Amino acid sequence: MKPAAFDYIRADSAQETVSLLARHGEDAKVLAGGQSLMAMLNIRLAQPAMLVDISRCQDLDYVRVENGHLAVGAAATQASVETRATLASEVPLLALALPWISHFQIRNRGTVCGSVAHADPSAELPLCLTALQGEVVLRSQSGRRVLKADDFFQGMLMTAVRPGEIVEEVRFPLQQQGARYAFQEVSMRHGDFAIVALAAVVSDSAIELTVGGVADRPARKRWARISGDDLDTALNDFAWELEAQSDGHASAEYRRHLVRQLGRQLIQKAGT
Amino acid sequence: MKHYEKNIEYPVTITLNGVTRSAPAEARMLLSDFLRHKLGATGTHVGCEHGICGACTVRVDGVAQRSCMQLAVQADGRRVDTVEGLNHGAGAELGDLQAAFKRHHALQCGFCTAGILMSCSHFLERVPAPSEQQVRDMLSGHLCRCTGYTNIVNAVLDVAAQRQAAIIGSTQHA
C-alpha cells in the first residue's frame, strides 16, 4: 500500500525541528531513518498529518565519545556506529548486538535514536541501552532533560517522550573496568524480530542479565556471582517474573525456556 | 527548512546512474514509485513495500537501502544508483556482478535480482574479501524464492575473488 497524504517538512537543524514540533503539536511526527515508521505509513498503521524529517540535520549526525559514554545523535545511522573501528573497545555490547539488528540494508538507513524512540520490546538497541543503564537526551523548545533508560521505556512502543520533544541523543556508557559482555538472540530467521534477546554483563562482583522480546519492555536483573543451582533458581524466577505471553511466533513456555537456558549459557560465556 | 504541502506535486531531482533526472512528486510518493512511475526506471522492482523482501534495494549516495522505505522527496538532490547502471558504459555488456550471476545461474525469475545486485555492489566495496558467512548475512536482507541462494553466494564470492586477483595483478605489474 501507499502512505496517506501528509505535509512534509525537511528540517535543517535540531532547533528548527523542536520549534516545528512546538508549533504543530501532536499532528507532527518525526521521521529519521524511517525503517519502522515508513513501513507503518505504507500499511497506514500510522497516518500523521505532518512529517518532520530530521535525517538531514547536520547537527544531529554524530557519534562521539564524551564524558564516559558513546553519544549517538538522532540522525546517525546504525551502520555508522556498527562500522566505527573503535566500537568493540568502547562499547563491546553494542559491537556484539548491532549485527543482529534486522539486515545490512536496513542498518544502512535506520537510526540508533529512532529504534530507541520506537521502543519495540524485541528491539536490540533498547535492550542494550537498558543493559548498560544508558541515558536518553530529550529536547524541546523549552530545553533538554536527560532520562535513565529505565525511566524512558514505559511499555510496548511507549516511552516518556512528551509532545514537542525529540530524542536528540542516546548515551551508551563506555566499557566498565573488569566487566565482560555477551549477547544472544533467537528469532525465526536471522534479522526477524527477536523471540527472545538477551544481554549479559558480568563483573567480578555481580551478574546482570537483561531480556528483550518477552515483557513489554527490556527487563534487567542483577545478582551476586551466584552459580549452579542458585543461578538456575534465580533464572527460573526471572523467567516467570517476565510474564511471557504466547503468540504466533512462540509459546510462553518456550520463551521461559529460552530465558533459562540462554541466560545460563550467556552468563557462563561472559563470566569465563 | 523546506515545506511540501500534501496533495501538491513538487519537483524532485536526483542523479540517476550518473544522469540528472527530474519529475514532479507528492511528498507521500515512495522513492521506488518515483523511479518506476515518474522516471520510467523499471529495473528496480517492488515486492512487499515494508522493507522485508529487498527487491527494491538501490544505492543512495552509494549506500544500499530500500527505496520503498523512503520518500522521493528525501532523495531530492541525492545520487541514486539502480540496476540499470551496473553494466559497463552505455553498452549492453554486463558488469562483473551481472556476468557472474548469469554464469552461476544465480537467478531464475529475476524478480529479486535487481535488489540483490545493488546490495552486493555496495557490500563488496565495504567488505572486499568476504567470507561465505558474511555474504549469507548480507543476503539475509533479500528474499529469493527460486534459487535457494547457493548459486547467489557462489556468484558473489566469485566476483570478490576476481576483483581481489585483479588488484593483486595490477600491483605486481606496477
Q: For residue A22, what is the domain's CATH number?
A: 3.30.43.10
Residues B79 and B118 in one domain: no
* Residue A117 within a domain: yes
Domain end: B56, B85, B114, which one?
B85
If one counts the domains in chain A, the total is 3
Residues A216 and A261 in one domain: yes
Inter-chain contacts counted by CB atoms under 8 A, chains A and B: 110
Q: Cβ separation of B28 and A10 shorter than 8 Å?
A: no
**Residue B72 belongs to domain spanning:** 10-85
- Rounded to an integer, what distance in angstroms lies between the CA atom of residue A147 and that of residue A161? 10
Q: What is the mean pLDDT of residues B131-155?
A: 96
Q: Give the pLDDT score at B173.
A: 65
* Residue B150 within a domain: yes
B50 contact residues in A (CB cutoff 8 A) = 38-39, 42-43
Q: Cβ separation of A16 and B141 shorter than 8 Å?
A: no
* Residue B1 within a domain: no
Per-residue pLDDT tens for B88-104? 766 679 999 999 999 99
Q: For residue B71, what is the domain's CATH number?
A: 3.10.20.30
* Residue A34 within a domain: yes
* Residue A63 within a domain: yes
Residues A99 and A121 in one domain: yes
* Residue B90 within a domain: no
Residues B114 and B51 in one domain: no
| Burial status of residue A35 (CB atoms within 10 A of its CB: 0-12, 13-18, 19 or more) | buried
Q: Cβ separation of A190 and B1 shorter than 8 Å?
A: no
Residues A156 and A191 in one domain: no
Would you tell me which residues 88-117 of chain A have a C-beta closer than 8 angstroms to some C-beta of chain B?
Answer: 99, 102-106, 108-109
Provide the shortest C-alpha distance from residue A21 to chain B (in Å). 13
Whole-model pTM: value is 0.95
* Residue A2 within a domain: no
Provide the shortest C-alpha distance from residue A249 to chain B (in Å). 17
Minimum-distance CB partner of B64 among A51, A102, A108: A108
C-alpha cell at A18: 523542536
Q: For residue A217, what is the domain's CATH number?
A: 3.30.390.50
C-alpha cell at A248: 504466533
Q: Cβ separation of A9 and B4 shorter than 8 Å?
A: yes
Q: Cβ separation of B28 and A35 shorter than 8 Å?
A: no
- C-beta atoms surrounding A68 within 10 Å: 9
* Residue A199 within a domain: yes
C-alpha cell at A97: 548486538
Would you tell me which residues 153-172 of chain A have a C-beta closer than 8 angstroms to some C-beta of chain B?
Answer: none
3-state secondary structure chain B: CEEECCCCCEEEEEEECCEEEEEEECCCCEHHHHHHHHCCCCCCCCCCCCCCCCCCEEEECCEEEECCCCEHHHHCCCEEECHHHCCCCCCCCCCHHHHHHHHCCCCCCCCCHHHHHHHHHHHHHHCCCCCHHHHHHHHCCCCCCCCCCHHHHHHHHHHHHHHHHHHHHHHHHC
Residues A83 and A18 in one domain: no
B3 contact residues in A (CB cutoff 8 A) = 7-9
* Residue B91 within a domain: no
Residues A227 and A196 in one domain: yes
Q: For residue B122, what is the domain's CATH number?
A: 1.10.150.120
Residues B49 and B69 in one domain: yes
* Residue B2 within a domain: no
**Residue A33 belongs to domain spanning:** 7-53
Domain end: A154, A173, A192, which one?
A173
* Residue A1 within a domain: no
One pLDDT digit (tens) per residue for chain A, 272 residues: 899 999 999 999 999 999 999 999 888 999 999 999 999 999 999 999 999 999 999 999 999 999 999 999 999 999 999 999 999 999 999 999 999 999 999 999 999 999 999 999 999 999 999 999 999 999 999 999 999 999 999 999 999 999 999 999 999 999 999 999 999 999 988 888 899 999 999 999 999 999 999 999 999 999 999 999 999 999 999 999 999 999 888 999 999 999 999 999 999 999 87
B47 contact residues in A (CB cutoff 8 A) = none
* Residue B16 within a domain: yes
Contact status of A189 with chain B (Cβ, < 8 Å): yes
Residues B126 and B162 in one domain: yes
Which ipTM score applies to this complex?
A: 0.94
Q: Cβ separation of B51 and A35 shorter than 8 Å?
A: yes
Domain end: A173, A197, A215, which one?
A173
B7 contact residues in A (CB cutoff 8 A) = 5
If one counts the domains in chain B, the total is 2
Residues B139 and B163 in one domain: yes
Residues A100 and A140 in one domain: yes
